[in-house]
Structure 1
Amino acid sequence: MDVIALIGPSGSGKSHRALAVARDYAAEAIIDDGLLIQGSRILAGVSAKEQPTRVGAIKTALFNDPERAREVRECLATINPRRVLVISTSREMTLRICERLGMPRPSRWVDISEIATPKEIYRARQIRQQLGKHVIPAPTVEVKPRFNGPLIEPLRTFLRRRQAPPGKSRNLWVEQTTVRPTFNSLGHFYISQGVIAQLAGYLVATGGLSSSRVQVENRDGSLVLNLEVTAPYGVFLPPLLQAAQKRVMTNITNMTALEVVAVNITVSGLKLEGKET
């Protein structure tokens, strides 16, 4: 078994580029944050991003739990990959992972700065610090049954590979998942329901609706927004309301880092030019 190591600071975009790097080096499996991934499937392990604390996440990524390490070792023996890509924050961490999983030392070290520009790394760190978002290099259908964090979003990314096999394009589409773990750099913060209501009212107004009432429900840390609006007369309403729902959900999630699970919009009146009915 040959091992390739991809290293770089936390939040610098390693997991985001993992699938492209794996294909560049013909790696048949990936070890990333406690998971063993092959192709589009998570075969074994537990995601470090699912842990409630940063310390717990580090222990999981290092396979400190003997049972989890044994599970991944056995799975590696079964699939017997010729080459494995190991993702970590440092050489020391990589060597500890390889030792615990019974893998040889890496034959090649790839630094994130070799495959991403300073601008791309800066943008990745901004997303991590401001939104607390992390990437798992596996499709959402694989991640969702295993992850209990407050955010799970599909991510389809267009990447340019450094090299490609003869006859194949350097451009690569990869399917990944964005998550927000319980632990993240945002820490603990509170946003009043009044602020959320004002944001929702403003966002529906940008699409031609006007809100008369906004109710915010907190359901175990997730938000449900109920809006009563006045809509313009003579306009086909379904696409207008659907666009407003998406706009409210997406923008409030991105601006506040809170999970909005539903946006319910009720039309309570119609507005003619200059007056309401």
Structure 2
Amino acid sequence: MEVYALIGPSGTGKSHHCCSLAYQEGIEYIIDDGLLIKGNQILAGRSAKRENTKMAATKRAIFLDPEHALQVKGKIREACPKSILVLGTSERMIKRITERLEIPYPKKIFNIYDIASEKEIAKALESREKENRHAIPIPTFAIEKDFPGFFLDSIRAFFKGKDRGEARPHNLEHSIVRPIYSSLGNYYLHENAIEQIIVYLAGKREGITKARTTALLSTRNGMIINVQVDIQYGSFFFPRLLKEVQEDIKTGLEYLTGLQIAQVNITARRLIVPGKKKIKKN
């Protein structure tokens, strides 16, 4: 396994530039702020941006919690990546992360000041200082309803592959978030995107003919989701089917977005009999 690192002070744009760096260098996996990321997916970990204090966020980012470290170590061993890019504020932080995850010390360390312009770094620092905006290297499903510390915006980066013989630009999307420990106000999430994902996840399960989200609620422990579904009459044990849909939505939404889901409440509204009219389930 080849390990690389990207270091730089907080707020200088490491999470924004790490995807393009990983792509250009052919690095498969990224470790950033407590998360193990490959491509557009979070494979393991818990984001430091979910923590309630900066101290807790720092501990999360260096995998100080044994269970957190064990989960990410297990996924790394399972995936057997050829290369990983580790993000940190200093070489000392990188050393602590690699030791906690039991992976080799980086063979090469990149500095944010070598891959980003002074103007880009200054803009990132200003955004962090004035608005407390943080980038995470995964796509956005975000913003417009009060949720506990997640997406504010998204960034799309277009660039041509470096020395990889590619003529067409490569497209990367980042999410802009405000951490839970921020004191700068509410966090807003676009519920339309979340609703579409929920409907898609529910509809994938055989026996569900239609689904719609009736409520998205925010709590300190995460999102509460209320969903209504139409069920096809047939060889389905309804309680088990509803339980499976409930699990599909929770695990799928957390996996795809990184959001924290507290509850998924499923209501069967209609029973659909082939060739018959819809039967309401009150």
RMSD, aligned α-carbons: 2.6
Q: Partners of 1:87 and 1:68 in 2: how far apart?
A: 17
Q: Partners of 2:109 and 2:82 in 1: how far apart?
A: 17
The equivalent of 2:43 in structure 1 is 43
Unaligned regions of 5+ residues in structure 1, if any? 191-218, 222-277
Letter in 1 for 2:175: T
Unaligned regions of 5+ residues in structure 2, if any? 187-217, 221-282
Q: How many residues align?
A: 187
Letter in 1 for 2:85: L
Q: How does 1:252-267 map to 2 (within 5 A)?
A: none
2:178 to 177, 180, 185: 180
Letter in 1 for 2:80: N
Letter in 1 for 2:84: V
Letter in 2 for 1:60: R
The equivalent of 2:204 in structure 1 is none
Give how far 1:9 is off.
0.5
Give how far 1:134 is off.
0.6
The equivalent of 1:89 in structure 2 is 89
Percent sequence identity is 38
Partner SS state of residue 49, structure 2: helix
TM-score by length of 2: 0.61
Q: Partners of 2:137 and 2:95 in 1: how far apart?
A: 21
Give how far 1:158 is off.
2.1
The equivalent of 2:269 in structure 1 is none
Return closer, same or farther for 1:12/1:97 CA change in 2, 3 Å cut-off. Answer: same
Give how far 1:172 is off.
3.0
Partner SS state of residue 148, structure 2: coil
Give how far 1:175 is off.
1.3
The equivalent of 2:54 in structure 1 is 54
1:27 maps to 2:27: yes
Q: Partners of 1:161 and 1:8 in 2: how far apart?
A: 24
Give how far 1:164 is off.
3.9
Give how far 1:157 is off.
1.6
Q: Partners of 2:69 and 2:34 in 1: how far apart?
A: 9
Give how far 1:18 is off.
1.3
Q: How does 1:236-251 map to 2 (within 5 A)?
A: none
Q: Partners of 1:189 and 1:80 in 2: how far apart?
A: 41
TM-score by length of 1: 0.62
For each residue in 1:29-55, what CA deviation from the matched residue of structure 2 results, as whole angstroms up to 9, or x when unmatched? 100000000111001000001111100
Q: How does 1:36-185 map to 2 (within 5 A)?
A: 36-141=36-141, 149-160=148-159, 163-169=162-168, 171-184=169-182
For each residue in 1:95-120, what CA deviation from the matched residue of structure 2 results, as whole angstroms up to 9, or x when unmatched? 11001101001000100011100110
The equivalent of 1:249 in structure 2 is none
Q: Partners of 1:33 and 1:102 in 2: how far apart?
A: 17
Asked if 2 retains the 8 angstrom alpha-carbon contact of 1:149 and 1:180, the reply is no
Partner SS state of residue 12, structure 2: coil
Q: Partners of 1:126 and 1:14 in 2: how far apart?
A: 14
Q: Partners of 1:3 and 1:152 in 2: how far apart?
A: 29
Return closer, same or farther for 1:89/1:64 CA change in 2, 3 Å cut-off. Answer: same
Partner SS state of residue 157, structure 2: strand
